[in-house]
């Protein structure tokens, strides 16, 4: 079961997450800016005439947008991050899908409601007496919502369980994910087989993804489904795959009751490959893997049974996640949808005993944003995976100004390298950028902070969306629609041109 060193190395933390801000006790969100956000006059003629500004920065924003040829809508705003005074605004009031930029709002929401030091607890509970290492009752794996729980963590929990002296369970092995509402998938409009659109619950594992791998074996295929992490790759039985002779669709999902029932079209497999698939029964998935890990420690468990009510009992082992500030920083760096959704659901639950649905939690985050930052926006989720969410570039900049350049968000954002049109780094560029990216098919967003060479702090948001092309691609059911990669490349190039312009024009 233990992976070889070469495979261990190939599964880097980045690879595992992709698929730190120091802890601050009692983080307080900065008050909304005292000054209203107001446009200020721009003098493009003066900008063009400035001999010390490179040609790239002399072009007007309108010229840059026209050259990008994105169609749809491009809205952006850049403001002084300390005063809130707007420096440039093009269609900044138009609400557009923020994609994963929404995760920046979710991070602020979770920090406010849960605190930076919050940790998620996973427990092993015995609901009966233990005598001479034998449990005369049921053993329960109880989730506490940890979005980062991995196979490696379950292996550690199983080892600690053995250290308690437990060697036999005469009752059932049960799993409980009721700490948070169950959600079958983050965004129903996305394709069923996308690994970044899994189910959610109070018991999650490996970001609720299962690793599907296939290889040609004679005239047939050898397929495996496993729960690999950095150290282990146990096979799983609750997620199953069949190869079928059909042309389309490539993947079909069915609810198998106690397992996820997948099939794949044979012509799509080629000679071999691998990909992550979403898990729709996360509690049973975690139970399947934990039973394997417990068996390796000499503790044989029955097949996991999911329960809705958590009984009282003795906590034999507990496992705490990292602190929320570290979890959120990883979320912003690697844009993990499950982490964002669990953080948002947990934040809503901390503020209301009446949390019942995913949609209600998204609305609660919007209400919180209005009450705390004075910004009204529409959220369909906490990750930005749904294109039904809407916020304008103007409103997003207001959030960034309100959060403050010295607030908790900025240190958690990703460094954005400044590059030329060939994607080569410009090491001597006199400004630094930290931001959150956001990408859907035909939607590309970026929002964050620029610090110029003169020490001026800017807050910006750039939202580009061609919703007609996106809707057409969704109707066709394309995972990677024709033209979407080229469109996204042009959108990112536009972002770079705007950033380079602002870093130079507003240097002091």
Q: Report the chain's mean pLDDT, rounded to a whole number.
A: 89
Average pLDDT over residues 64-73: 94
**pLDDT reading at 464 higher than 70:** yes
pLDDT of residue 420: 85
Q: What are phi and psi of 75, to 5 degrees?
A: -125, 135
pLDDT digits (tens, 9 = 90+) for 82-125: 999 999 999 999 999 999 999 999 999 999 999 999 999 999 99
Confidence of residue 5 (pLDDT cuts 50, 70, 90): very low
Quick one: DSSP state of residue 354? T
Which tops the pLDDT comparison, 473 or 173? Answer: 173
Alpha-carbon gap, residue 328 to 314, rounded angstroms: 31
DSSP per-residue codes, 301-321: -PPPEEESSPPP-EEEEEEE-
95-129 in b/e form (b: 16+ CB < 10 A) is bbbbbbbbbbbbbbbbbbbbbbebebebbbbbbbe
Average pLDDT over residues 357-364: 96
pLDDT of residue 497: 93
pLDDT of residue 356: 83
Residue 471, helix vs strand vs coil: helix
Q: Which two tokens stand for residue 293?
A: 């890990």
pLDDT of residue 123: 98
Q: Which two tokens stand for residue 181?
A: 């509402």
**pLDDT reading at 11 higher than 70:** no
Confidence of residue 59 (pLDDT cuts 50, 70, 90): confident
Average pLDDT over residues 151-179: 98
pLDDT digits (tens, 9 = 90+) for 170-223: 999 999 999 999 999 999 999 999 999 999 999 999 999 999 999 999 989 999
Average pLDDT over residues 330-336: 97
Choice among 1-15, 66-80, 378-392 with the minimum mean pLDDT: 1-15
Which tops the pLDDT comparison, 464 or 24? Answer: 464
Alpha-carbon gap, residue 332 to 224, rounded angstroms: 31
Q: Delimit the CATH 3.40.710.10 region(s) of the chain.
A: 31-116+323-505
pLDDT of residue 39: 36
**Strand ranges inside 154-249, DSSP E:** 168-169, 173-176, 209-217, 220-226, 239-244
**pLDDT reading at 37 higher than 70:** no
Confidence of residue 46 (pLDDT cuts 50, 70, 90): very low
Average pLDDT over residues 130-158: 98
Confidence of residue 458 (pLDDT cuts 50, 70, 90): very high
Per the rule left: phi > 0, alpha: psi between -120 and 50, beta: everything else, 29 is: beta
Average pLDDT over residues 288-310: 97
Average pLDDT over residues 20-29: 26
Full-model pTM: 0.88
Average pLDDT over residues 457-469: 97
What topology is assigned to 31-116+323-505 in CATH? Beta-lactamase (3.40.710)
Residue 365, helix vs strand vs coil: helix
pLDDT of residue 353: 66
Secondary structure of 80-146 as H, E, C letters: ECCCCCEEEEECCCCCECCHHHHHHHHHHHHHHHHCCCCCCEEEEEECCCEECCEECCCEEEECCCC
Q: What percent of the chain has pLDDT over 70?
A: 88
pLDDT of residue 461: 98
Q: Delimit the CATH 3.50.80.20 region(s) of the chain.
A: 120-320
pLDDT of residue 17: 43
Q: What percent of the chain has pLDDT over 90?
A: 80
Q: Are 457 and 450 in contact (CB under 8 A)?
A: yes
pLDDT of residue 35: 36
CATH of domain 120-320: 3.50.80.20
Parallel, antiparallel or unpaired: strands 220-226 and 414-415: unpaired
pLDDT of residue 114: 96
pLDDT of residue 57: 53
pLDDT of residue 477: 83
Average pLDDT over residues 259-287: 97
Q: Are 453 and 389 in contact (CB under 8 A)?
A: no
Residue 336, helix vs strand vs coil: coil
Average pLDDT over residues 131-156: 98
């Amino acid at each position: 079961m233990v992976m070889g060193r070469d495979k261990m190395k190939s599964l880097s933390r980045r690879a595992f997450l992709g698929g730190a801000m120091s802890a601050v006790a009692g983080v307080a969100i900065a008050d909304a800016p005292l000054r209203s956000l107001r446009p200020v006059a721009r003098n493009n003629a003066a900008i063009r005439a400035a001999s010390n500004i490179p040609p790239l920065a002399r072009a007007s924003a309108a010229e840059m947008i026209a050259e990008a040829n994105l169609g749809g809508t491009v809205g952006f705003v850049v403001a002084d991050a300390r005063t809130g005074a707007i420096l440039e605004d093009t269609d900044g009031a138009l609400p557009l899908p923020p994609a994963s930029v929404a995760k920046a709002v979710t991070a602020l929401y979770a920090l406010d409601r849960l605190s930076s030091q919050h940790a998620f607890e996973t427990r092993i509970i015995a609901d009966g007496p233990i005598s001479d290492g034998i449990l005369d009752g049921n053993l329960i794996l109880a989730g506490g919502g940890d979005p980062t729980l991995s196979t490696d963590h379950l292996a550690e929990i199983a080892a600690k369980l053995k250290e308690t002296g437990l060697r036999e369970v005469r009752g059932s092995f049960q799993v409980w994910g009721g700490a948070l509402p169950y959600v079958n998938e983050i965004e129903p409009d996305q394709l069923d087989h996308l690994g970044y659109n899994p189910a959610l619950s109070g018991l999650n594992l490996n970001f609720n993804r299962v690793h599907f791998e296939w290889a040609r074996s004679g005239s047939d295929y050898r397929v495996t489904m496993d729960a690999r992490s950095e150290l282990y790759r146990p096979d799983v039985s609750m997620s199953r795959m069949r190869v079928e002779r059909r042309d389309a669709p490539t993947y079909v999902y069915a609810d198998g009751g106690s397992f996820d029932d997948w099939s794949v079209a044979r012509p799509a497999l080629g000679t071999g490959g691998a990909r992550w698939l979403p898990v729709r029964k996360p509690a049973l998935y975690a139970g399947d893997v934990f039973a394997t890990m417990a068996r390796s420690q000499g503790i044989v468990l029955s097949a996991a049974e999911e329960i809705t009510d958590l009984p009282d009992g003795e906590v034999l082992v507990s496992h705490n996640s990292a602190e929320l500030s570290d979890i959120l920083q990883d979320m912003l760096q690697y844009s993990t949808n499950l982490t964002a959704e669990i953080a948002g659901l947990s934040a809503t639950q901390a503020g209301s005993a009446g949390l019942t649905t995913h949609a209600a939690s998204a609305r609660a985050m919007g209400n919180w944003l209005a009450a705390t930052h004075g910004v009204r926006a529409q959220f369909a989720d906490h990750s930005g995976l749904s294109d039904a969410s809407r916020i304008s570039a103007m409103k997003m900049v207001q959030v960034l100004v309100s959060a403050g350049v010295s607030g908790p968000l900025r240190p958690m954002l990703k460094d954005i390298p400044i590059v030329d049109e060939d994607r080569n780094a410009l090491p001597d560029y006199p400004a630094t950028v930290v931001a959150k990216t956001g990408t859907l098919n035909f939607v590309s967003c970026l929002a964050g902070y620029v610090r110029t060479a003169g020490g001026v702090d800017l807050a910006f948001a750039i939202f580009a969306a061609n919703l007609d092309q996106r809707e057409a691609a969704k109707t066709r059911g394309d995972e990677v629609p024709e033209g979407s990669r080229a469109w996204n490349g042009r959108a990112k190039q536009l972002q770079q041109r705007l950033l380079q312009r602002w870093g130079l024009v507003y240097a002091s």
